[in-house]
Amino acid sequence: MSDKESARDVSEFEAESTAHLDALYGLALRLTRRPTDAEDLVQEAYLRAFRFRDHYTPGTNLRAWMFKILTNLFINRYRRSMKETALLDGSDGDSIAEAALSRQSVRLLRDPEAHFEAPLFGEQVCKALERLPADFRAVVVLSDVEEFSYKEIAEIVGCPIGTVMSRLHRARRSLQRQLVEYAHEVGALAPGEERAPAEPTDLASYRARRGAGTS
């Protein structure tokens, strides 16, 4: 390959792929939790993508392909050397009486004029996310921030769709619990909102409905 062709090759690849740089850096930052590691991870992902660009079929989803490279690189190289202080509730779905954030609470939490001395809500959201294990952080970012479909996420992280769903489910439960706790601490939960009604109420109404033949 001549120097000229090679230069064109680089600039074509760069032009197409750097459109996703911010998003890739965003995921890298959530995964590594350190800006310097995130930068290294993104740079390496770009080098790999460039080196193996022949494996990419033009016209297919370049964004998903780049995310897959970055995620795999993180799993294979970085994660083993990272100390995880992850938090995830062990039980999954036993208790249905679950705390929940209401629209009103979120409004209160977001309100910059709120009277309570509290760090910004956005920071709390990020902190809650960072307390999850890396596999769970990855699916949350890919779904909520990047809006990939479950099928795409399954391909990016290399797991069955069922695993993606269960990780998302558990991750969100944990996020919810953390944020409700925070809202409770800073007094942003409206009275009577601490707990959503427990299951028996629902079961009764469900039975009543079933009895009435509406479901």
Partner 1 sequence: MRCRDVQQFASAMVDGELDAATALEFERHVGMCEACRVRTESERLIKAELRRHLRGTRAPESLRRRIHDALGEAGGGVERPADGRAPPARREVPVRDLEAGMAARPRSRFAFVPYAVAAGLMLFFVFPRGWLGTRPITGASTARQASMGGPLFVSDVAGKHARSLPVEVNGPSPERVGHWFQGKVDFPVRPPVFSQVRADLVGGRISWVRDQPAAHLYYDFDGRRVSVLIFTPPRRRLPVDGIPGICVPGRTVYVGRSRGVNVAFVQHDKVAYALASDVPEQQVLGLAAGF
Residues 94-113 that bind partner 1 (CB under 8 A): 96, 98, 100-103, 106
Cα-Cα end-to-end distance for the chain? 68
- By CB under 8 A, which span of 66-74, 111-119, 184-192 interacts with partner 1? 66-74
* Site for partner 1 contains 79 (CB under 8 A): yes
Binding-residue pattern over the window 168 to 187 for partner 1, x denoting contact by CB under 8 A: xx--x--xx--x--------
CA distances, 187 to each of 62, 123, 175, 190, 206 (Å): 45, 17, 18, 8, 33
**Minimum distance from CB of 187 to partner 1 (Å)?**
18
Based on the number of CB atoms within 10 Å of its own CB, is 39 exposed (0-12), middle (13-18) or buried (19 or more)?
Answer: middle
**What residues between 118 and 147 interact with partner 1 by CB under 8 A?**
121-122, 125-126, 129, 135, 140-141, 143-145
Between residues 50 and 116, which has the closer beta carbon with respect to partner 1? 50
Contact between 87 and 173 (Cβ < 8 Å): no
**What residues between 12 and 31 interact with partner 1 by CB under 8 A?**
13-14, 18, 21-26, 29-30
Beta-carbon contacts of residue 5 (< 8 Å; ≥ 6 apart): none
